[in-house]
Amino acid sequence: MIFRVIARTIALLVATVSIYSLWFLGRLVLLPFRPTRRRWHIFSIKIWGKLAARILGISIKVKGEPPEPPFFLVSNHLSTVDIVVYAACLGNLFVAKSEISKWPLIGWITRDIGTIFIARRNFQDIPRVMGLINKTLDEGLGIILFPEGTSTKGDKILPFSPALLEPAVRGNYPVSYASISYRTAPDEAPAYAAVCWWGDTTFLQHAGALLKLARFDACLIFGSHAIKADDRKTLAKSLWNAMNDQFIPVVESSSVNHEREV
C-alpha cells in the first residue's frame, strides 16, 4: 500500500513536469501560430489529464455532450481529482482559489498554463478576473468554475456563490454546466471518505487516502444547454437547479451521520 502511494506520487510528479516542459517548448515554437498554439494548449492539458487519470486508477464515464471551446462551464466540486477528470475530457483551464497559486511547484505550473486565481472574498477582484476570463475565451479556450466555493463529501450540491458568477453576467456569457460524482469498489474505502475532500481533513490525509485506492470511477454528466441571465443571483439559482436535477450523490447524508455515530 505504501509502495503504491510512493510510486503514484513520483509518477504524477514526473508526468506533470514532463507534460509541462513539452507544453512550454511547444508554446515557444508555435508562438506566431495562434490556432495551432490553441490546439497544442488543449491537447497538452488533455494528455496530462489522461496520464494522471491512468496513474490514479480513475475510470471516467461521460454522459451528455461536452461543450466545444470556447466555453464557460460550472461544476460541483468534490475533490482535487475533479481537475484531472475535467482536464482529461475537455483540456480546459480553471478558475481557482488564490491560495493554490502559493503551493510549491503546482502553483507555479498552474499559474503559467493559464489558471485564473481569484480572491473569493474580495469582490473588487472581479474586474481583474473578468478580464482574464475574456482573454481565455478570446483565445478559444474553455474555462471551468466551481461556484460552491469549496469541495464537499458529495451528499448534496451547496448553494452557489452569486459573486463568483458576476464575470459571466457582466460578459454576457452563456454558462454550461456539468456534475461530477465518484464510486469506489465494494472492497475499497467509500468514495466520500477516500476521494472527496471535505470537513477537517488535511490535504495530506486526503491525498494519502486517494492514492491508496486501487481504482475508482468518475461519472461526469454534461448539461443539455447553456444558461444566461441578466443578474448573478438568477443565474446562480438557474444553474444550481439544472445541476441538482442531474446530480448523482456520492453518499446519502444519513449514511455519513450513522457511520460517525456508531
Average pLDDT over residues 240-255: 89
Q: How far apart are the first and last CA of the chain?
A: 27
Asked whether the predicted pLDDT for residue 205 surpasses 70, the reply is yes
**CA-to-CA separations, 253 to 88, 156, 166, 250, 257, in angstroms, rounded:** 30, 8, 31, 10, 6
21: in domain: no
- Determine the residue type at 81: V
Which pLDDT tens digit goes with each residue over 72-88? Answer: 999 999 999 999 999 99
- Kind and range of the H or E run holding 93: strand 93-97
Average pLDDT over residues 36-56: 96
DSSP β-ladder status, 175-184 and 216-222: antiparallel
The pLDDT assigned to 130 comes to: 83
Percent of the chain with pLDDT over 70: 95
The pLDDT assigned to 254 comes to: 57
- CB 77, CB 97: distance < 8 Å: no
The pLDDT assigned to 231 comes to: 92
| Segments forming the whole domain that contains residue 196 | 57-261
What pTM value is reported for the model?
A: 0.93
45: in domain: no
The pLDDT assigned to 72 comes to: 95
Closest listed residue to residue 113, CA positions, set 48, 43, 41: 41
Which pLDDT tens digit goes with each residue over 165-176? Answer: 888 888 888 999
Which pLDDT tens digit goes with each residue over 83-118? Answer: 999 999 999 999 988 888 877 778 888 889 999 988
Give the list of residues 6+ apart from residue 132 with CB closer than 8 angstroms, or none. 116
165: in domain: yes
Asked whether the predicted pLDDT for residue 15 surpasses 90, the reply is yes
The pLDDT assigned to 129 comes to: 85
Residue owning grid cell 469541495 = 151
109: in domain: yes
Determine how many CB atoms are found less than 10 A away from the CB of residue 251.
19
144: in domain: yes
185: in domain: yes
DSSP β-ladder status, 116-118 and 58-63: unpaired
Which pLDDT tens digit goes with each residue over 127-173? Answer: 888 889 888 998 999 999 999 989 999 999 999 988 888 888 888 88
Q: Alpha-carbon distance 97 to 126, whole Å?
A: 13
Residue 258 binned pLDDT confidence (cut-offs 50, 70, 90): very low
Average pLDDT over residues 33-42: 93
Residue 262 binned pLDDT confidence (cut-offs 50, 70, 90): very low
Residue 201 binned pLDDT confidence (cut-offs 50, 70, 90): very high
Closest listed residue to residue 171, CA positions, set 141, 199, 137: 137
Task: Please confirm whether the linkage preceding 70 is cis (ω < 30° from 0).
Answer: yes
239: in domain: yes
Q: Alpha-carbon distance 120 to 164, whole Å?
A: 7
Residue 191 three-state SS = helix
106: in domain: yes
Count how many domains the chain has.
1
- CB 203, CB 106: distance < 8 Å: no
Q: Which three cell numbers stand for residue 185?
A: 469498489
Ranking 13-22, 122-131, 175-184 by mean pLDDT, the lowest is: 122-131
The pLDDT assigned to 122 comes to: 72
